[in-house]
Amino acid sequence: MRLQVSTWPEVEDYLKKSTGVIVPIGSTEQHGPTGLVGTDAIAAEEIAWEAGKRANILIAPTFNVGSAQHHMAFPGTMTLRPSTMIAALSDWVLSLAHHGFTRIYFINGHGGNTAPIATAFADIYARRSLDSTSERFRMMQRNWYELPDVEKLDAELYPVGGGSHVTAGEVSVTFAAYPEKEDTRELDPKIAPTGVITDKHHYREQFPDGRIGSDPSQSRAEHGRRLIDVAADNLASEAKAFFAS
């Protein structure tokens, strides 16, 4: 069940049975010459939608622009300042809480979002703690690629060249979602270098095609379907346990 294609009476009926909701969250940033700019948001969204179908969980709209300043030297990237992102996340959460949602689970597709999400959680909990009339609710976040069965399958599919940005796994998930965009051409170098990044200039200088440690020529739509399948199972199970806690 997807919030944005539901009516308000349908959401009201859902709340009589469950007060848990999943929010996919990602980024709009470069993913190398063969990966889609929306990869991080698309992956989180596809996995959340599938988990929602399997477990009858409400899925909120995707928060699809995140903290991606270090990618801004590549055309198409969009970013939020951390303060803007934290404020927006707070408004999203408090809007859901206002309607009676008490368990809000963020399934994340972009590592750069982890700190702003955690800070938003801290700010929301602080404000709620200072409000004597507030009701109790809880939040959690999880990177989809760190779900236990996803990590195992990813290591099996890509023992070499999986990478840390433009990973073979995340690109495969987007190919599964958009098979017409599948691009398996080999890049030069085949496996991108690894290292640390700071700002957009440093990133572009160190990793001129956008990849870090990855070989996305290994990516396949069929791999993506397998990754979505195990991720959705893991997410549905974890979210149901969180909602029941």
- Counting the structural domains of the chain, the total is 1
* CB contact at 8 A, 110 and 76: no
Residue range 90-122, pLDDT digits in tens = 999 999 999 999 999 999 999 999 999 999 999
What pLDDT, on the 0 to 100 scale, is given for residue 131?
A: 81
The amino acid that residue 108 corresponds to is N
* CB contact at 8 A, 2 and 153: no
What pLDDT, on the 0 to 100 scale, is given for residue 130?
A: 87
| Tokens describing residue 23 | 């929010």
For residue 66, the domain's CATH number is 3.40.50.10310
Ranges of the chain whose pLDDT falls below 70:
132-134
What pLDDT, on the 0 to 100 scale, is given for residue 112?
A: 96
What pLDDT, on the 0 to 100 scale, is given for residue 136?
A: 82
CA 84-110-102 angle, to 5 degrees, is 70
Residue position matching structure tokens 């999880």:
142
Q: What is the domain range of residue 187? A: 3-244
| Tokens describing residue 200 | 């957009």
User: What pTM did the predictor assign?
Assistant: 0.96
What pLDDT, on the 0 to 100 scale, is given for residue 156?
A: 98
Fill in the DSSP letter of residue 159: S
Give SS3 for 241.
Answer: helix
